[in-house]
Amino acid sequence: MTEEWAAQNLYCPACPSDRVARQPVNTEAIDFVCSQCDAPFQLKASRQPIRNKVQDAAFDAMKRALERDRFPHLFLLRYDWDSRRVADLILIPRYFLSLSAIEVRKPLGPDARRAGWVGCNILLDRVPPDGRISVVASGAPIDETLVRRRFRAARAMSRVVSPERGWTLDVLAALRSLKRDEFSLGDAYSLEDRLTALHPNNRHVRPKIRQQLQVLRGLGFVTFLGRGRYRLKPV
């Protein structure tokens, strides 16, 4: 039912197309593709509220897709079963997902049909708010113009090559966690422990923070105000 709803109602946020085409059953990782710009999409639906942890597919397949920059844009849909209506729909552009936001799950036990299979969770609190675009909120659709505008702004992240993008996303998410638009270099340094936990093999976290501030400035997510002060672009 949710896939049928999506086939009838989803539009492409990446171009003016008002439809996306359903893909054949069992097409790996991709459920819909835009017939105009070929943007790929995956749909995950649940009657449970969309919280910070979303179950996804096999961990190894997810890891390969992210490393090769081949993961599709992700639609997360919550439906109200009693009213048979879509309650919430969130879009995550594919270049806003990194390995830092993927949590490996425990292997299935020996009595399971797929014993030993290892799945993963997507940790939404590690996806910067810039990459969590509301399409339907509390049953009300968000204006398509606003959705496409936010998608265009998020597309700047695609200019960072995949291996380096994880750091850029982690620094942006950490800066957003400060809960204020303006911050200092000292504020950015206060996030060192959080970033070290995500990248334990890097022993030069502060230089990396400074580097990523320059990257985010070039992408338009951060504005340098001078004298060690910065401003985050409003979401």
Q: State how far the Cα of 224 lies from the Cα of 96, in Å rounded to an integer.
A: 23
State which of 111, 138, 159 marks the end of a domain. 159
Mean pLDDT, rounded, for 178-205? 96
Residues 137 and 32 in one domain: yes
Residues 75 and 42 in one domain: yes
Residues 74 and 184 in one domain: no
Cβ pair 146, 78 in contact under 8 A: no
Sheet holding 133-137, edge to edge: 21-22, 32-33, 40-46, 73-80, 85-92, 133-137, 140-141
Mean pLDDT, rounded, for 2-19? 95
Residues 123 and 61 in one domain: yes
Q: What is the 3-state secondary structure (H, E, C) of 51-109?
A: CCEEEEEEHHHHHHHHHCCCCCEEEEEEEECCCCEEEEEEEECHHHCCHHHEEECCCCC
pLDDT beyond 80 at 28: no
Mean pLDDT, rounded, for 156-161? 95
User: What tens digit of pLDDT does each residue of 94-150 get?
Assistant: 999 999 999 999 999 888 888 899 999 999 999 999 999 999 999 999 999 999 999
Count how many Cα atoms sit within 13 Å of the Cα of residue 149 in the half-sphere of its side chain: 7
Q: What is the DSSP letter of 160?
A: S
Residues 88 and 48 in one domain: yes
Question: In the numeric block, which tokens belong to residue 12?
Answer: 């492409």
Residues 110 and 23 in one domain: yes
Mean pLDDT, rounded, for 78-105? 94
In the chain, how many domains are there?
Answer: 2
Q: State how far the Cα of 141 lies from the Cα of 75, in Å rounded to an integer.
A: 14
pLDDT beyond 80 at 208: yes
Question: Is beta strand 119-123 parallel, antiparallel or unpaired with respect to 102-104?
Answer: antiparallel
Residues 138 and 198 in one domain: no
Mean pLDDT, rounded, for 1-26? 93
Which range of residues forms the domain containing residue 228?
162-232
User: What three-state secondary structure class fits 141?
Assistant: strand
CATH of the domain at 76: 3.40.210.30
Residue with tokens 């509220």: 49
Which pLDDT does position 26 carry in this prediction? 72
Maximum average pLDDT range among 20-29, 59-68, 193-202: 193-202
Residues 128 and 31 in one domain: yes
Residues 99 and 114 in one domain: yes
State which of 104, 131, 159 marks the end of a domain. 159
* Dihedral sign for Cα atoms in the order 62, 66, 67, 69: positive
